[in-house]
Chains A and B, each alone.
Chain A
Amino acid sequence: MPLALIDCNNFYVSCERMFNPRLEGVPVVVLSNNDGCAVARSNEVKALGIKMGEPWFKMEKIARQHGIVALSSNYSLYGDLSARVMSILSTFSPRQEIYSIDECFLDLAGFDPKTLLAYGQTIRQAVKRNVGIPVCVGIADTKTLAKLANHCAKKGLAGRDGVCDFGQLDEQRRRTLFASLPVGEIWGVGGRITEKLLAMNITTVEELCNANLEMIRSRFSIVLARTVQELNGTPCIELEDANTPRQQIMVSRSFGSTVTALADLSESVASFTTRAAEKLRQDGSVAASLCVYVHTNPFKEDDPQYQRSLVVPLGLPTDDTSKLVHAALTGLKVIYRSGYRYKKTGVLLMGLQAKDTIQATLFDDPAEQARSDNRMRVMDAINRRMGQGSVTIAASGVRQRWAMRRERKSPNYTTEWSELPVAG
């Protein structure tokens, strides 16, 4: 069963370059929320040896030397372009799994295997032409292999023009290729597992392919054993269709500066809950309970440390922003302790189920339910049209002193009328 993994090249950087062509050919790095560390790097930055996740303060000097342009992450822009890319990709297969903001799997079962390489090129060109984002395509019989094929396509190790189909490699060439790939390149083989494998003289993909399955299962885990099976062409990880609704919805963020007052924490919790409730309604789900949590900055070792979370049951499952916010704030009041410098709060909606399948109870009030539904529909419609946060509940606050630091953010080119790109 062949499938494809399509991955956008340096996605965030590509998004920025699309609307600011001056960044073409220039080393560009995109920083995480609060301008903390590198979350995307252009090829020029990779060539300078700057690693993913490297903190900005550590690279500031080398950045100045080489004229690296550092940008704050602009998730409104990346989210919109991602939705466009995924929508185009969805036209190439009846089954799509959106794996992350910049990658997705497509089921290619039933296609003539000889045509897949050309099909990969068609996919690649379609995304480039329609949205302007460059992608690479990896094709193979399992998810793990498709990921690896994508890596090879991106690095130009196999295939050509950004498309690599392992189905086109004969056994001899496949073996040579796998013997040249370090084991750490495999999907799901992280730093710690890599170290342990190296100690056992398993250094390449080919060596892990040939490792004894029983030994892997007993010395590591069933998960790694599954990876080995996948490397050998036996699919063990199912394709998850895009329309599987989420099981949990999490919204959390670190603060731009530390926050101490309950009032400020409350505003951020209310604001995150509002966002989570929007996502909930997009999925057509309701939540049965909600978890709210706070913690201080564990990297500030001199600061007194505190972290706590609390699950608040909601009674009747709901998707109503005001009810969810009320529950979240009730929970926050219970876990809040004064005298700490908080760095992060978050809200997790749990026990999600489809709204149209919840059971009615004796205490339902259909009239109130209808009013609530109407309220939420109007709120979502306004926010969709006028921009996120146009209508919100008063508890989210208007000052938002806790807001993230994003000093180098590009305009919201595709989601704000006042920030459109300009052509002279």
Chain B
Amino acid sequence: MPLSLCSKTSMTPLLQQAILLPAIGKPPILAPLFSHKVAAGFPSPADDYIEGRLSLDEHLISNKDATFFVRAKGNSMVGAGIFDGDLLVVDKSLTPSSGDIVIAIVDGDLTVKRLINRDGKVILKPENPRCQEIEFKEGQELQVWGVVTSAVKKFV
């Protein structure tokens, strides 16, 4: 315990003016002088080689401010390895090009598909033979929300 003996509020008025000294015969009150540890023993030989742990954030995200996470739903992209419940890492800053997996806005909903430019026609292509391609005709605007840069699965 430090030198502050007791808080002022809990003292009687008389005691507040008195100077408190440790009673004779009682063990002395210990006041900390240095509470820092003093290093002893040998320094670790690895000290100079510690480079910090690897970070998944660093590995998966190149533009932090523009990166968002989206949850995949359904089986339309199983051919690309994206399954129901996978976590998609989406970078909004990238310019989408043909072949990219993108998050697009179709009829007010977000959808994940492969963007294909086939003979000047823009197509959102699912990676599942049971799903239909979405074609964009002249005058119809395709809105790409972001480019999917990776998918993360958890097994446990």
Contacts and interface: CB of A to CB of B under 8 A. Distances in A.
A420 B109 contact: no
A63 to B, nearest CB: 20
Interface stretch (B17-25, B48-56, B69-77): B69-77
Contacts of B35: 366-367, 370
A424 interface: yes
B132 interface: no
A421 interface: yes
Interface string B54-71: 000000000111101111
B105 A21 contact: yes
B92 interface: yes
B92 A131 contact: yes
B2 A364 contact: yes
Main secondary structure of the interface of B (DSSP, over half): mixed
Interface residues of B, number: 33
B88 interface: yes
A130 B66 contact: yes
B63 A423 contact: no
B32 interface: yes
B69 A420 contact: yes
Contact of A131 (B65, B76, B87, B105): B65
Nearest to A364: B2
Contacts of B140: none
3 closest Cβ contacts across the A-B interface? A22-B108, A130-B66, A423-B110
13 contacts: A21-B105, A22-B109, A87-B65, A130-B65, A131-B66, A366-B34, A367-B35, A414-B68, A422-B73, A423-B103, A423-B111, A423-B112, A424-B110
Interface of B: 1-4, 32, 34-36, 63-66, 68-74, 76, 87-88, 92-93, 103, 105, 108-112, 143, 145
Interface of A: 21-22, 24, 84, 87-88, 129-132, 362-368, 370, 413-414, 417, 420-424
